[in-house]
Amino acid sequence: MDKQIASAVQKGSEVDVYDERGSRLFSKNGELQGFTSTTVSIKRDSYVTTYDAKGSSKFSKKCS
């Protein structure tokens, strides 16, 4: 079973993403927009990028 996202926490200019055991899955620069058990969305500059639980970019969208 793939890891699931249990929480995403804004720490200064970084977002730390954790699994259900409290282990950090990955960290990205930007502003946390929201998360689910399978994705986390982070705004950086004028784009919001959605990442999977492995920290791989799934898609980006330009913000207006």
Residue 16 in any domain: the answer is yes
Whole-angstrom Cα distance, residue 50 to residue 21?
22
pLDDT in tens, 5-58: 999 999 999 999 999 999 999 999 999 999 999 999 999 999 999 999 999 999
Residue 29 in any domain: the answer is yes
Q: Cα Rg for the chain, rounded, in angstroms?
A: 11
What is the domain range of residue 11? 7-62
pLDDT at 55: 97
Residue 1 in any domain: the answer is no
Backbone angles phi, psi at 56, to 5 degrees: -85, 135
Provide the pLDDT confidence category of residue 1 given band limits of 50, 70 and 90: low
Residue 39 in any domain: the answer is yes
Residue 37 in any domain: the answer is yes
pTM: predicted TM-score of the whole model, two decimal places: 0.93
Residue 2 in any domain: the answer is no
Residue 35 in any domain: the answer is yes
Number of domains in the chain: 1
